[in-house]
Amino acid sequence: MPNQGIVLPVQNSGVDVFEVDDALHYIYSFKGTPVAVITLTTDYGWRDPDSAGLRGRVYAEMLRTGTVAPVVDLTHSIPSRNLNEAAYILRGAYGDFPTGSVHIVLVDSIHWPQTPLIACSIDGHHFLGLDNGLLAMLRPDVQPSSRVQLDLKNRLDCSTPEALLAAAAAHLLDGGSPSLLGPARSEWVERSVLKPEVRSPQAALVHIQYVDHYGQLVTDADQAWLQRWHMGQSFETNVRGQRVRQWWGESGLPSGSLYFRYNRHQLLEIGMVDGGSDSVNQAARLLGMKPGDALELKLR
């Protein structure tokens, strides 16, 4: 007779957990209430064991505390020590998860324990990571409702940042107060970030902050900022002899032409019609641009 599993005790109502064939399988019955999740964002990559080890620590803590939640690998493909890219990806993704979710982010973790671990609550979500400026970049426009330095003196078995963050995540997911994780922090590390600027009544300077999977160049200028600058007037840019002035959706855009558009986060980006998936025939490659590069926009 096949193994029917053992039902584990769960505090989150509406969630059943079964252990089947030595693997945890979740059956979620939301019953009208979204279930908070744990997300993982690192620069560990997928090839090495570190990302799997972090996931294992999270599962171990959930089993230890009887807490249950889906664990979502947001990405482990952050370029090594690239705090800006990690902040962009997490900023763009966390709002799609249920309120109360816990987001673990470990980028450039080699500096622990010299760089302490912190927990902060922003916009109804909990974020756990190093105090290296990354978490401060997530929502510089919003003051965290709580911000503490992790100090889990009662968990002597937690000797790595992964173990400490997993323990803190289980605590928060179980409804525990952030204040019980350690002393409050009035300040945290903040890094200077590039921002769009108006250079003259006719010109604005924006910066590439991310190159996506399609080779599209995502700038740091959102639609609201640009509308205040151009006041309804058309604009264009010229990079390496390539002029960009048309918008995605306009008729008559031939394959290989460049266009402007606002992505789902309302950020201006430059893409290529029918760009290739091999990174050759893409906007980023054609224009030779990368994150941090400046781009001048001019009114027409």
Indicate the CATH number of 6-181 among 3.40.50.300, 1.20.1530.20, 3.40.50.620, 3.40.50.10790: 3.40.50.10790
HSE-CB of 280 using CA atoms within 13 angstroms: 1
Q: Return the domain boundaries, the chain.
A: 6-181, 197-299
Whether 171 contacts 115, CB under 8 Å: no
* pLDDT tens profile 3-49: 443 333 344 444 444 343 333 344 344 445 568 999 999 999 999 99
Residue 279 has pLDDT above 70, yes or no: no
Amino acid (1-letter code) at residue 268: L
Whether 169 contacts 61, CB under 8 Å: yes
Torsion of CA 179, 182, 187, 189, to 10 degrees: -130
The answer to whether 6-181 and 197-299 have equal CATH topology is no
Report the distance separating Cα 45 and Cα 277, nearest Å.
21
What pLDDT is stored for residue 207 in this prediction? 98
Report the distance separating Cα 137 and Cα 190, nearest Å.
7
H or E stretch covering 58: helix 50-65
Give the E-state strand segments of 70-116 in sequence order.
71-75, 102-106
H or E stretch covering 60: helix 50-65
* pLDDT tens profile 246-255: 999 888 888 8
Task: Give strand pairing partners of 122.
Answer: 125
What pLDDT is stored for residue 30 in this prediction? 46
What pLDDT is stored for residue 276 in this prediction? 66
Task: Give strand pairing partners of 125.
Answer: 122
Q: pTM for the full model?
A: 0.85
* pLDDT tens profile 82-97: 999 999 999 999 999 9
What class does CATH assign to 197-299? mainly beta
